[in-house]
Amino acid sequence: MFRMITALDPERLYYNTGNSKNTEKRSGVCMAGKNCDLENAPADSLHARFKYFKRKDIKPDFSKLNAPDFQQKIIDTNVDSWMINSSGVKVLQTKSGLLICKNLFSKKLLQRLGEEALFEYTKTEVGRNNLINVGRTLTDKIVNWSADDILKQANNSSIGIHRDDIDYQIAPIMTISLGCPGLFQIGKGERDEEGYEVFLEHGDLCILDGPDRSAFHAVPRILSFEDTTGVEPLSASDNSRLDAYLRQSRINISLRQCKN
């Protein structure tokens, strides 16, 4: 039988986030009695690894990641545009549809995206009123600049395990990472099954397509440059506030097709 599911269907929200408290908050429906127990998930599961990498009381071991089985190639785009590098673009791709492109975007474009995200988006109504994202308070933090504030925010940032299938779109999702590296996890199945882990670094384009389009994924932690392969934002940008921010924090820009 065909069952109409709306975006606020609590069952569906739970399925997406796996977090009963979030589901209750968003849907106003009590989730008590639902099977939300992931406490016994195996140690190598997406869920258990997420909790491990999120820990603040110890420093997780970032040298032992469960890396995806990437096929790797270096390509020339031969595109004549100020936005795209024409050569030396590194493409990492899995059979299940995760694609990470390094060195694709020009320094000028990355600077422009950072400025738009940090100084323009956060001034907009939608940016300031988005309760889920940091935009609501970010403008004030930037105006009353305190490096400590920003660092604290960066260290505490994470994105819980979720899948992006709530609006039933199948077009690939693309994200662009700026600033500090984020540890990205992507599942092979359910939250209590294994997943992969990879750093998303400054300038990386990440695409979720194919089966991975609807995979569980998360960013349990933002790291310092020393903890990863050390790809830093290019400091030659002429915007010192943007540089200072990106050295201590991370911006992720997601591009997705939406239905009205």
Ligand X SMILES: O=C(O)CCC(=O)C(=O)O
Q: Which residues make up the interface to ligand X (CB under 6 A)?
A: 159, 164, 175, 177, 182, 184, 200, 217, 219, 252, 254
Q: Which amino acid is at 63?
A: S
Q: Which two tokens stand for residue 138?
A: 């970010």
Report the alpha-carbon angle 103-107-113, nearest 5.
Answer: 105
Q: Pseudo-torsion of CA 43, 46, 52, 56, nearest 10°?
A: -160
Beta partners for residue 229, in sequence order: none
Q: Around Cβ 178, how many Cβ atoms within 10 Å?
A: 25
Q: Are 127 and 142 in contact (CB under 8 A)?
A: no
**Minimum distance between the CB of residue 164 and ligand X, rounded to whole angstroms?**
5
**Minimum distance between the CB of residue 217 and ligand X, rounded to whole angstroms?**
5
**Minimum distance between the CB of residue 33 and ligand X, rounded to whole angstroms?**
29
**Minimum distance between the CB of residue 112 and ligand X, rounded to whole angstroms?**
19
**Minimum distance between the CB of residue 162 and ligand X, rounded to whole angstroms?**
7
Q: Which is nearer to ligand X, 1 or 132 (CB)?
A: 132
Q: Which is nearer to ligand X, 86 or 254 (CB)?
A: 254
- In terms of C-beta density within 10 A (0-12 exposed, 13-18 middle, 19 or more buried), how is residue 204 classed? buried
Q: Which two tokens stand for residue 157?
A: 């940032």
Q: Which is nearer to ligand X, 85 or 252 (CB)?
A: 252
Q: Which is nearer to ligand X, 143 or 181 (CB)?
A: 181
Q: Which is nearer to ligand X, 207 or 242 (CB)?
A: 207
**Minimum distance between the CB of residue 52 and ligand X, rounded to whole angstroms?**
19
Closest CA to 6 of 36, 27, 35, 31: 27
Specify the residue for token string 């097709």: 257
Measure the CA–CA gap between 99 and 204, rounded to whole angstroms. Answer: 10
Q: Which is nearer to ligand X, 182 or 203 (CB)?
A: 182
Residue nearest to ligand X (CB): 252
